[in-house]
Every structure is written in C-alpha cells, then in structure tokens.
Structure 1
Amino acid sequence: MKSLSKGAMIAALAVTAAFGVSQSTDAAYMLNSEVKDATPALQEAASIGVRTYENPMMKDAMDKDAIVVMSFGTTFKDTRAKTIDATINEIKAQHPNVKVVTAFTSHIIIDRIKEKEGITYPTPEEALDQLKADGYTRVALTTLNMIPGMEYNYAGAVFNHHKQDFKKMTLGVPLMYWMGQEDQRDDVEQALKAFSSQFPMMQKKDSAVLIMAHGTPDPSNAYYAVIQDRIDSMGLKNTYLYTVEGWPNLETVIPQLKEKGIKHVTLMPLMMVAGDHANNDMAGDEPDSHKNILMKEGFTVDTYLHGAGENQQIRDIFAERASEAYDALVK
C-alpha cells in the first residue's frame, strides 16, 4: 500500500470498516474476507471494476462462451472500419474459439446504418437474447467506451437486466477506469501514453494540442479533470482537453490559450471514431464549428480527423479490457 498520512489512513480504515471493501490490483474489488453476512445491497455497492455474476440455478449447464462488444457506433463507414471493426477483429484474433458479437448502443445509429447500408447491428439486449436462444451459457460483456459515463451505465444496466439469463456473465471496464488510487493501476495515464503517440510535433512555444472529448451529464464527467491533471503531470506541454457536451467546454479553454500566448492549435478527437462530432462539431465548415470559433478568435487551426481507435496502442488496450472480462468469465 502507498504511504498515507495519519488522517488519510484513519479515513481508509473507516471506509473498510463500514463497507468491508478491500482494494486489490485485480481488475475488480472484492469484499473483505472478514465480511461473512454481506447483504445483496452491500455486494452490489462493492461491484467495482470487472463485474461477475454466477447463476446458481444454471450451475450444471454446459459451458458455451461468447463475448459481446458494445459500442455507441457510427454512421461514418470508413472510420467504423478503421476503429470499431479493427478493434473487434483484434479481440476475435485473441479469442479464436469464442463467438464475438458486435452490438451498438445507439438505436438511432442502428436504424440509419440499416437504412443506408442494409446492415443490421443488434442492440446489446437483442444480442443477448439471440445468444440465449442459440444456447450460449457464459457471456463476457466488454465496451469501447472511453470513460464510465452514461454509455457505460447502459452497459451496467444490460448486465443487471440479463445476468440471470446465463450461467455466468461478466462486464469489463472502459478504456479509462482506474486512476491509480491506492495500489490500482492508472488507466488514465496508460491511455494518455498511447494517445499521445499520435500528437503532432510542436516545436514552437505558441502551438498547442486541443483534445476534444465527448462529455457526459453523469457525475463521471469529473474524469475529464483527472485526464487534464495527468496531461499536466506527464509533462504533455500545451495540451488541453475540452468536451462537446460537458465540462470543460471550448469557451473554458480559449482564455487559457490566450493567457499562454498560444497562436496555433491542432484539434483532435479523444473519441473512438472520427464521426459526426469530429467532422462537424470540431472540424466542420459551419460558423459554430470549433475550428471556425477558434479562427475567429485569431488562432491558426489544424484538424486531425482520426478516431482514437485508429491508434494500434489504443486498440491493444481495448483488447486487454476484453480479455479481462473473458478471463473473469472462464476462471
């Protein structure tokens, strides 16, 4: 355990005493072994990290395994192939004898792809219903989410609503989940190391990188403050994060750029795909696009229209997250 101040140590012991949760370097928390009478509510509260459910009513069922990869999806076909499809192909390659199903969480995107391309992607619920009908008994759920925001809450709700349909079900974590607290790994730093490998070379002090994330009304929007903290502590100079639908927004960042004397910015999305937000909100030709807003403020602007999923290192991390969920399924 990392060293703690006396006050922090007392607080940590108080939490352990109250909730019986012990921290671990594993992908999930476990209840303290001294807790002998954990109620369902306490067990649910301690379901942090990779979640696992075993159905006692199906303990004798034959094992037949599948992985369901959940993504918001995109109607931009080219970026979908380079990001979502490429990541899922990597997951398939690492689990050659396991059925891997792609499910989109955006019902609107599912409808638009079906109309324009004639391809039908299932929702997670539809994918699980079909797997159950086909006799699959153990399912690992994994996501292509960046942070555990509202989309990940959807994944958690799918897990809770369908876990009793199978002998065993697990739910993995998104790209950035653990933040280095106590002895846990730091997913934020790991992801930023991977993501920053595609940063442009900035040889001038008046140049900056603006990373556009999505944002969420969920309290997990606070992850973006942690991401900016890691950006700063890792020495990624003149690098700022803002969100399309959360905080901080572009208007929050512009004064910081001016104060720093920044003249040139490169906009790039911290999103799985370079879809509507990247092509239109960030780099579009409309007057209210981020590019044009910055140009009106006197900045020279370049745009980087590549989803994070085009980065091999990012795909590798998502494949690791899928393997964590699958390993918890089969152990």
Structure 2
Amino acid sequence: MNQKKAMLVVSFGTSYEETRNKTIGAIEKEIAESYPDWEIRRAFTSGMILRVLEKRDGLHIDNVTEAMEGLVQDGFRTVLIQPTHIINGDEYDKMVDAVKPYMEQFETIKIGEPLLSSSEDYEEVVKGVMAQLPQLQAEEALVLMGHGTTHHTDAVYAALDYRFKAMGYKNVFVGTVEGYPDFEQVSSMVDTYRPKKVILMPFMVVAGDHAQNDMAGEEEDAWKTLFEESGYEVECILKGLGEFSEIRRLYLKHVADMLTEE
C-alpha cells in the first residue's frame, strides 16, 4: 500500500454503535474497496459525540484537527477529505475551517462535497430514497425527518421536498427537527394530503438519537406520537441514509469527482 495517499472520511458522528457500523462504517468500507491503494481514516465533527464515546465506551475517534495532525506526522503527501455530511452547513464549515491551517503541508489536498451539493445530487437522492420504498401506496405518506440548521443552507430541505413532488412523489414530505420545514408545517401538508398511514424515516446519514427519540420515541413530542394523536397509523423505518447503496454510491461519485478535477 502506498502510505503517502490518504482519504479522510469526515462525519458528524453518532454514539449508536449499530447504526454507526451500518452507515458511516459502510461508506468508509466502500471507499476503501474502491480505492485499495489509499489509506482510509476517520474523523467526527461533533465534540459532544466524541466525548460520549470516549467516556462511555473508551473509544477515541479523532476530531478533524487531530486527524490532520496525524496525516502530517505520518508523512502523507496526498490527502482527499470526503465528508458524509448532507448539506454545506455548520458542520461542513467547521470541518473546512479545521482543515485550512494544514493546506500548505501537503503536495495535494482536496475537500469533497456533501451529499446534496448539485441539482443532480437531489435527483439521485430522491431516486435512492424511493428505491427503499418501491411499494409506497397512494394512501400512504412518507415523512422524512432531517436535522435542520440555523445555517442558510436550511433551504435545502424545502428544496428537496419540492424535488420529490416535481419527480412525481406527491405523498413524500421533508421536515426537520431543528429547522424549516418544522413538524407543524409537515403535519399540515400531510393533513392536506389526507393519507391513511404515515411512514416515518430519518433523512440523516445515521439512525441515531434524533431518529430513535425525536422521530420514533414514545415521548409526547416525538413525531410518531404526534401523528398517532392525529389519528394516523404510523410505521417507523429506523434506517440511516448510509444504509442505502444508492446514497453510498453518490458519496463515491463525490470522491471520484475530487480525483478527476484539476
């Protein structure tokens, strides 16, 4: 193996081991299989998750600064950085800021795009999500729960909702926990559609805390509870986007784009 080339895969992270292996781990594994002469390394951007993993599990995962220091110390000359973030939001910006001080320490260094970066990405994501639900019925509504952000890229979620509709999926709705559209907007759109059943699925790389609790939990403010109180039959699909081969393929395309760009 040529030890001078490395790919750093940067994720927000999760403290849930099962979904971490099925999603982030699966993305990293496919990148490693596609580029066997590159060393694959991992970093997380969530300080809170890194602290939980260290304290609870005794598991140390590098933050971006630690990962960059390691790449310099280990003598890598070519580095590609591929985020698994969904949008060009706060976490992506934080990653870029952490990388900037190291840009001059490598012969080649490139930073890849998050999942939803181009118009083509939106179309591929819609296809990838719908491939998981080929039997979605007209009397059912698929509600995707994204994270949301105070960053201006929060507009991505409403744009994605629009793209689902434009591609013929009138019964797919995109909402967020911490942004726009919020639950009130999504539930209003679902009520207007008047389905018999609501299928909830996280629009996040991992099915972690938000999926387990805010979406599928039993608390009174969980989306599952709120839709049930509105009289809907509710099914929860606890799968992160990283489990979908079509989504992993899109991350791989972003890696390939880095390799071909001048």
TM-score, scaled to structure 1:
0.75
Other-structure match for 1:153: 93
**Pair 1:251 & 2:184 matched:** yes
8 Å CA contact 1:215, 1:247 repeated in 2: yes
Structure 2 portions without partners, runs of 5+: none
Residue by residue over 1:56-110, the C-alpha shift from the partner in whole angstroms, topping out at 9 and shown as x without a partner, is: xxxxxxx922111100111100011111001101101111111110101111111
8 Å CA contact 2:64, 2:99 repeated in 1: no
**Pair 1:162 & 2:95 matched:** no
> Percent identity of the aligned residues?
35
**Pair 1:276 & 2:229 matched:** no
Other-structure match for 2:228: 295
Other-structure match for 1:189: 123
Provide the C-alpha distance between the structure 2 equivalents of 1:260 and 1:272, rounded to a whole number of angstroms.
Answer: 27
SS at match of 2:157: helix
Other-structure match for 1:221: 154
Residue identity matched to 1:244: V
Other-structure match for 2:19: 79
8 Å CA contact 1:71, 1:104 repeated in 2: yes
Structure 1 consecutive aligned stretches of length 4 or more whose deviation exceeds 4 Å = none
Residue by residue over 1:291-311, the C-alpha shift from the partner in whole angstroms, topping out at 9 and shown as x without a partner, is: 001111221111000111111
Other-structure match for 1:128: 68
8 Å CA contact 1:210, 1:267 repeated in 2: yes
Matches within 5 A, 1:7-86: 64-86=4-26
8 Å CA contact 1:159, 1:169 repeated in 2: no
Other-structure match for 2:170: 237
Other-structure match for 1:173: 113
Displacement, 1:327?
A: 4.0
Larger radius of gyration: 1
SS at match of 1:191: helix
Structure 1 portions without partners, runs of 5+: 1-62, 180-185
Provide the C-alpha distance between the structure 2 equivalents of 1:223 and 1:169, rounded to a whole number of angstroms.
Answer: 27
TM-score, scaled to structure 2:
0.95
Residue by residue over 1:17-53, the C-alpha shift from the partner in whole angstroms, topping out at 9 and shown as x without a partner, is: xxxxxxxxxxxxxxxxxxxxxxxxxxxxxxxxxxxxx
Provide the C-alpha distance between the structure 1 equivalents of 2:135 and 2:210, rounded to a whole number of angstroms.
Answer: 24
SS at match of 2:168: coil
Displacement, 1:121?
A: 0.6
Provide the C-alpha distance between the structure 2 equivalents of 1:175 and 1:265, rounded to a whole number of angstroms.
Answer: 26
Displacement, 1:194?
A: 1.0
Provide the C-alpha distance between the structure 2 equivalents of 1:267 and 1:303, rounded to a whole number of angstroms.
Answer: 5
Provide the C-alpha distance between the structure 2 equivalents of 1:249 and 1:138, rounded to a whole number of angstroms.
Answer: 42
Displacement, 1:169?
A: 1.1
SS at match of 2:23: helix
Other-structure match for 1:306: 239
8 Å CA contact 2:121, 2:250 repeated in 1: no
Other-structure match for 2:248: 315
Please tell me the root mean square deviation across aligned C-alpha atoms, in Å. 1.5
Q: 2:53 aligns with which of 94, 113, 127?
A: 113
Provide the C-alpha distance between the structure 2 equivalents of 1:131 and 1:100, rounded to a whole number of angstroms.
Answer: 11
8 Å CA contact 1:66, 1:101 repeated in 2: yes
8 Å CA contact 1:267, 1:303 repeated in 2: yes
Provide the C-alpha distance between the structure 2 equivalents of 1:233 and 1:208, rounded to a whole number of angstroms.
Answer: 16
Provide the C-alpha distance between the structure 2 equivalents of 1:88 and 1:133, rounded to a whole number of angstroms.
Answer: 22
Provide the C-alpha distance between the structure 1 equivalents of 2:76 and 2:136, rounded to a whole number of angstroms.
Answer: 51
